[in-house]
Amino acid sequence: MHYTIFDTPVLRTLLRWFSLIMLRLLGWRLVGDFPRDKKYVLIGAPHTSNWDFPFTLMFCFAGGAKLYWMGKHTLFSGPAGPMMRWLGGISVDRRQKNSLVEQMIEVYQRSDSLVVAVPPEGTRSRVSEWKTGFYHIACGAQVPIALGYLDFSRKQGGVMGLFQPTGDIAHDMPLIRARYRDVRGKCPYNQ
Taking only the tens place, the pLDDT of each residue in 102-114 is 888 888 998 899 9
Exposed (0-12), middle (13-18) or buried (19+): which is 99, by Cβ within 10 Å? exposed
Q: How far is CA 155 from the centre of its chain?
A: 18
In this prediction, residue 87 has a pLDDT band, given cuts at 50, 70 and 90, of confident
Q: pLDDT tens digits for 30-81?
A: 998 899 999 999 998 877 788 888 898 899 999 988 888 877 788 888 998 9
Q: pLDDT tens digits for 138-158?
A: 999 999 999 999 999 999 999
The structural domains of the chain, with segments of one domain joined by +, span: 5-190
Residues facing residue 70 across a β-bridge: 90
